[in-house]
Chains A and B, each alone.
Chain A
Amino acid sequence: MVLPDTTEDTQGSGLASVNPDLASERLTASFCVPRLTAVLDGGAERTRLRRAVVDVIESDPVFSRENQYFQSQNERYEAAVRKAVHVRKKMQEMGWSEDGPESVYIYRALSGDVAFLLHRVFMRSISVLGSDKQVAKWIPPATEYQLIGSYAQTELGHGTYLQGLETTAVFDISTQEFILNTPTISAMKWWPGDMGRSATHTVVFAQLYIHGKCYGVHPFIVQIRSRQDHSLCPGVIAGDIGPKMNFEHIDNGYLMLKNVRIPRENMLNKFCEVQPDGTYIRRGSQKINYFTMTSVRISLISDEVILPLMKACTIAIRYSVVRRQSKLKPGEEEAKILDYQTQQEKLLPQLAAAYAFHFINNYLHELFNRGYREIQGRNFDSLPELHAFSSGFKAMVTQYCTSGLEICLRACGGHGYSLLSGLPSLYTKILASCIYEGENTILLLQTARFLIKCFTAASAGQPVPPSVTYLAAMKPGKCPAKDKLDFLSPDIYTEAYQHAAIRLISSTAAKLQDLIQSGVERHEAWNQCTVQLVQAAKAHCHYITVKNFVETVEKLENTAGIQNIMKHLCDLFALHGIFSNAGIFLHDGYITGAQMDMVTASYLDLLGIIRKDAVPLVDAFDFTDKNLNSALGSYDGQVYQRLYDWARKAPTNKQISPAYEKYLKPLLHNKLSKL
């Protein structure tokens, strides 16, 4: 590669052709890439729609993320606000509605780099928790952005445990108002997005007191900033909580309330109401609240978790065929690093996981939609199952994808650490998903609680939801595989996963029972089993993911090589899981040591097979270069030139630093005393 004469290069220009090392990878695809893209999108029509939206967004310079890596927190925030305002205009211009099919693609095209995301949560909570009257009062101005909302639940000292929140709302009959207070420092609202600088209103969760009696946590609409000049309202202290690992564009905020009075009508009162005389009335079922949490958890999996892993795989795999290092054979050219088995072993399982989770996400959405229809018919039977599934899969998928993304980052050697690779930002963003909307360990324990309950019911011959009927099918057996090819049979490995899940759930249930029977208190027994319970919940989710992948592959079109390559990925995902959790499968001898060697052999063989399709498989994700925003992962593979061009744009190369005159010069001239 010869150094072209470039002075002020921008993204794309001056980089004409595709790097031959990347081009050659695309010539040998065993399947039709556009067909696979259509499968992922849910049909060719949706691919067209997605591309059209992406095209509109990316051709507008206001939405450019070109300088993102060079911007300060203040600049990022301002850009995000500007984009949020501009996207409104754009949508009006294009005739796109908020709940139209385009909206999800708009958000993806922006890579989430936009303000007022909590405004939607604000509106949704009013729609769900507010009376018809409240909806009529608040939703129209919110839709018109006459006010900007946030959602203030988490406090400095309280996250997971809602009942522990300390903020108070005391009803004052004489004025028909609630008086809101932050009684301690740990009661300060902390973390809510859009609240530090932007929001004029927020839904505050507080302990309701009437006549000195506490009625528990309730939601209240509180105005925090003036709608005219944006200054803080009397009694309100609010601001930004300072720099984080990512989300520089979001003003996560703190909020302290000192005797802030709001009218009685500002308590969201679809389910509970305080009447003018102070009488507290509860009505209807609050179960629907669970449904909201469930829907949020399911909705974040795709955009916030699976897409980032897909992007990371795209960047790392493309870079790994462009990067050459060391020699595989003496006298030959340096080898593409993707030809090293160790590199394949890092990246290809992550690629398989990205596909596995894409399909499990579809499964969850179907489950959710079915549940939603039932709930609309006032049938809440499927709620526990939905809740358990959304919790467990949110935890499993976020954890898996987070570590997968970090593997991609570290697989890119030194250049992976450059922000210009795009990988550090993807990583620091995805890892927040392990905490928000429910901390993963807590969520897995909720899934475990459901599984133990179902296992007990199933053992007693009672009916259980269809997804867990397998718990009743405990049979001792052994894995029947005779040679390594047997492990490419979905029946063989699905059975193994099922066996492992049942074993872990049943042994934990037994242990729990033993402890309780030996006189240990129930809650203490539970705490003593939590490490095992977490493991059991993960095994269940892993099993369902494998099973679903297998079933999805069976249903795929058997043309254009799609089913074939997906079968390989499914095998790889399954065998990688057995290879990396060997102890679980060997434990009761279900898989023998000799069989484990077969698993390893088949697994390593698959790496070599999928290697050939690695680039087409990431091309099928169909990310634009602007969306990837990576010097290492662009479609044309002109990695080094782009890295150099982008680096030269860094402000550190443009602004004059006073460091030389102020410090280096005196140091070099031995005038240190003047420092």
Chain B
Amino acid sequence: MNADLRRERAAASFQPELLTHILDGGAERTRRRKEIGEGVINDPDFQHEDLNFLSRSQRYEQAIRKSSLMVMKLREYGIADPEEIYWFKRTCLGNFIEPFGLHFSMFHKTIETQTTDAQKKKWLPLVRGVKIIGTYAQTEMGHGTHLRGLETTATYDPATQEFILNSPTVTSIKWWPGGLGKTSNHAIVLAQLYTQGQCKGLHAFIVPIRQLGTHEPLPGITVGDIGPKFGYDEMDNGYLKMDNFRIPRENMLMKYAQVEPDGTYVKPVSDKLTYGTMVFIRSLIVGDSARSLSRACTIAIRYSAVRHQSELKPGAPEPQILDYQTQQYKLFPLLATAYAFHFVGAYIKDTYHRISGDIHDGDLSELPELHALTAGLKAFTSWTANAGIEECRMACGGHGYSRCSGIPDIYVTFTPSCTYEGENTVMMLQTARFLVKSYNQVSSGQRVTGMVSYLNDLSRQRIQPQHVAGRTETVRINDPVSLVEAYKARAARLVEAAAKNLQAELNHRKSKEDAWNKTSVDLVRASEAHCHYVIVKLFTAKLSEISNAAVCAVLTELCLLYALYGISKNAGDFLQAGILTDTQITQVNQRVKELLAVIRPNAVALVDSFDFHDVHLGSVLGRYDGNVYENMFEWAKKSPLNKTEVHESFHKHLKPMQSKL
């Protein structure tokens, strides 16, 4: 092991394993996760080759090989628990993704939840046994966010008892679904249903797209790959165009709405349940934000402990770059953020599981708030992690830019989450809608509950305006609980400001929609402040659950850093609202820098606690043993440009040029 890293690890003030257990949710779960991971790593069938040297077609082929193998191995090992499957797949895939992903998630889930018993009986065995491979085709080239605008049509023909599917325009071509281009032979297609001459809105249909046996596209189906993207090279995101393609009536998913043989449309009972799925998927993205940022931090912090550059003290040897204040200032707030997001992700998942029982029993009372909260947190965490991963890469200097650092792969794999499953700005505005609604409830004298209950205090403050000024003295910058209050005050102020601006616009203009649009920048700010408050609150709450004193101490430092750094970066909000004075802001800025120095000795141990195996991390710079430079050289030798010593372009272009000129 690299001597610098060994020294860093020896100097840690706490045991990283204990922190790992907290992140995993218990020692037993850590053990099981490691067991599954090691099973994969030691299995000779899984070659952990580096996809960076392969073409897109080759990468796709390798990904299909791995996906198929995973199906077999999961059966062989008897792994069935969703979380265990997740660990298994993460270790298999490293920085990459699998073309079957949507088969197991959306295709399977939709057939499980939206079909009749007869349909279940027909389709589920095929899906579970991977006799068919499916994907979920919703997004069209011209339509994403606004579902009602989808153009694909499914017209019922009572004569043959079939639906006729059509893509009437270029913009209606299904575009982006993963696994659609080359892999899947079925797709769930969302289309506008027409029966008896009337449009009945969006419905889902199971559509076979490729011939079983030959895998050739069926007549009437045009299907293919949408071309290269920013990452996701091994995924065949696809397009699908249908021309008078006929499917039997039974292929419409009919648990809720139905079309009878004669074409009569039977309306669905109210379906708020799809909220549940959205909450679930968005909560996964919050967890993914935490993990992706953790991986980038692991790489950047280990490398910064190995890399030496310039001089701090004249005449002394070159210091580790992690000793520079500017480097700490880039990385440690992100490290704190990664921890914060882990706890937020765990909270949402637990809350979802807690109330999903209620949902099943028809009690949807907690759902609206959770739905609004996860929308905002999905946006907040994915934006922050996205920028943070880039910051980590930049902190690795030139080598961060090489694919061998692994950070480019983490980035390109993660960054689409700012857009998929709900575009982030749209998500923030959904949260804002809930906040404004809650604010209006409070204004009209009702009380609100849950994370927005701080809005109840606003009416009290209006009666006692001196309250805000009085609070200035009470913020204690070394007390997380007091900082939670400061964030709460900021959120309350920004929600109130946005709601008031919205009202002012309404007073000026006729249309509700115009007023909303003219206030949307304020509304997004309000949502961000609300999410920020929730995160600081949840991180602070977590501290009281930690029993080990050494671990608790280091997490408290991180929590303080997270909260204070956020204040420092958003000082304008806190100053403008009179929550903090400029003297206090100066103290906050100073305290942030002190905390950097306090955290510095534990930095490597804090990323070790994330416990990423080298195979999963997929980074030469972030290797556990820190032997960076030797391995960069070994890695580079595998570059396709190095296959022959003299590249063919010498004979084709260089030599003729030199002889001619």
Contacts and interface: CB of A to CB of B under 8 A. Distances in A.
Interface string A209-236: 0000000000000000001011110000
- Greatest chain A CB density within 10 A among B181, B585, B646 is at B646
A244 B129 CA distance: 40
A652 B56 contact: yes
A583 B571 contact: yes
B57 A657 contact: yes
A8 B633 CA distance: 44
B145 A326 contact: yes
Interface string B369-406: 00000000000000000000010001001101111100
Interface stretch (B6-14, B251-259, B605-613, B648-656): B648-656
B307 to A, nearest CB: 8
B401 A244 contact: yes
B353 interface: no
A245 B573 contact: no
Contacts of A159: 309, 397-398
A435 B398 contact: yes
Interface in B55-72: 55-57, 60-61, 64-65, 67-69, 71-72
Interface in A232-274: 232, 239-245, 251, 254
Interface residues of B, number: 138
Interface stretch (B136-144, B198-206, B342-350): B136-144
Given A239-B636, A583-B585, A659-B182, A593 B575 contact: yes
Nearest to A143: B661
A243 B576 contact: no
Contact of A196 (B131, B401, B641): B641
Contacts of B496: none
A70 interface: yes
Given A70-B228, A593-B577, A672-B68, A1 B170 contact: yes
Contacts of A196: 641-642
B185 to A, nearest CB: 8
B101 interface: no
A232 B418 CA distance: 47
A242 B635 contact: yes
Contacts of B401: 244-245, 431-432, 435
Interface in A424-450: 424, 427-428, 431-432, 434-436, 439-441, 445
B653 A82 contact: yes
B570 A251 contact: no
A672 B229 contact: no
B511 interface: yes
A568 interface: no
A93 interface: no
Contacts of A524: 312-313
Which among B139, B571, B575, B637 has the highest number of chain A CB atoms within 10 Å?
Answer: B575
A275 B278 CA distance: 76
Contacts of A409: 230
Contacts of B419: 410, 413-414, 416-417
Contact of B72 (A156, A435, A641, A672): A672
Interface stretch (B323-331, B434-442, B479-487): B323-331
B337 to A, nearest CB: 17
A367 interface: no
A198 to B, nearest CB: 7
B61 A657 contact: yes
B599 to A, nearest CB: 14
Contact of B325 (A528, A604, A647, A657): A528
Contacts of B408: 244-245, 428
Contacts, number: 379
A586 B521 contact: no
Contacts of B636: 239-242, 254
**Chain A contact residues: helix, strand, loop or mixed:** helix
Contacts of A519: none
A36 interface: no
Contacts of B311: 161, 523
A647 B53 contact: no
B517 interface: yes
B122 interface: no
B646 A229 contact: yes
A389 to B, nearest CB: 21
Contacts of A418: 226-230
A72 interface: yes
A330 interface: yes
B623 to A, nearest CB: 14
Nearest to A406: B390
Contact of B578 (A164, A406, A593, A667): A593
A82 B640 CA distance: 19
Interface in B4-58: 52-53, 55-57
Interface in B286-324: 307-314, 318, 323-324
A329 interface: yes
Contacts of A158: 309
- Give the most central of B131, B425, B521, B635: most A CB within 10 Å: B521
Contact of A663 (B65, B141, B394, B648): B65
A77 B645 contact: no
Contacts of A17: none
Contacts of B528: none
A665 B214 CA distance: 9
B463 interface: no
Interface in B166-203: 167-171, 173, 175-176, 181-183, 185
Contacts of A157: 307-308, 629
A243 B403 contact: yes
A2 interface: yes
Nearest to A441: B326
A78 interface: yes
A668 interface: yes
Given A156-B632, A326-B149, A341-B521, A413 B571 contact: no
A142 B426 CA distance: 56
A566 interface: no
Nearest to A188: B633
Contacts of A82: 649, 652-653
Contact of A435 (B52, B61, B397): B397
A339 B513 CA distance: 12
A528 B593 contact: yes
A334 B146 contact: yes
Contact of A586 (B176, B568, B576): B576
Contacts of A144: 661
Contact of A325 (B143, B232, B307, B582): B143
Contacts of A440: 394
A643 B132 CA distance: 29
Interface in A134-178: 144-146, 148, 154, 156-161, 164
Contacts of A465: none
B403 to A, nearest CB: 4
Nearest to A411: B425
A653 interface: yes
A393 interface: no
A323 to B, nearest CB: 8
A453 interface: no
A436 B397 CA distance: 9
B19 to A, nearest CB: 27
Contacts of B171: 1, 640
Nearest to A580: B572
Given A585-B572, A653-B225, 20 more contacts: A69-B228, A70-B227, A230-B646, A239-B637, A243-B403, A328-B513, A329-B513, A341-B518, A413-B423, A420-B228, A435-B394, A523-B313, A581-B572, A582-B575, A583-B571, A640-B170, A648-B224, A657-B57, A663-B65, A672-B71
- Please give me the 5 A-B residue pairs with the lowest Cβ-Cβ distance, nearest first: A582-B572, A583-B571, A424-B230, A240-B641, A650-B227
21 contacts: A72-B640, A157-B308, A160-B309, A185-B629, A242-B636, A414-B420, A418-B229, A420-B227, A435-B401, A439-B397, A528-B325, A583-B568, A586-B582, A648-B224, A650-B225, A657-B57, A660-B215, A668-B130, A668-B212, A673-B72, A675-B65
